[in-house]
Amino acid sequence: MSKQRQSRFAIISIALTLGAFTLFVFATFVDPLSAYSTELMVAGLALLIASWGIYFFGGRRAQKPEESTENVITVIGCGGCDFREERAFTLGDYIFKELGQCKKCPGNSYIRAIYAVPLKK
């Protein structure tokens, strides 16, 4: 999905670049337009900059979802009862890490498991 988005940004970028070159060519070689050559050059440059911007930012934004293709879940359990809770993994979580008193009983709760779930595309 993100690859499609990326290629769409690439196509827009190429189209803008082609438009910029067309403006440059018109400004240089078409005599009736030579009076506007400066404006056409500026417009062409603006198109070029826009195309780079779209390619750069579009490509970066399209890559972002690929970094997190899975959801990491931390399972919390208790030594004294059958308490079980799942939450999103946070930095510093490790298996058997003690988390203090259980919410249901006086026993100690701890991290029982950490696992990753692939995100649906």
Residues that bind Zn ion (CB under 5 A): 78, 80-81, 83, 102, 104-105, 107
Q: Which candidate, 75, 71, 80, 70, places its Cα nearest to that of 103?
A: 80
Minimum separation from the CB atom of position 101 to Zn ion (A): 8
Q: Which is nearer to Zn ion, 81 or 114 (CB)?
A: 81
Minimum separation from the CB atom of position 82 to Zn ion (A): 8
Q: What is the SS3 string spanning the chain?
A: CHHHHHHHHHHHHHHHHHHHHHHHHHHHHCHHHHHHHHHHHHHHHHHHHHHHHHHHHHHHHHHHHHHCCEEEEEEEEECCCCCEEEEECCCCCCCCCEEEECCCCCCEEEEEEEEEEECCC
Q: Which is nearer to Zn ion, 31 or 82 (CB)?
A: 82
Q: Which is nearer to Zn ion, 99 or 105 (CB)?
A: 105
Minimum separation from the CB atom of position 80 to Zn ion (A): 4
Q: Which is nearer to Zn ion, 26 or 110 (CB)?
A: 110
Minimum separation from the CB atom of position 81 to Zn ion (A): 3
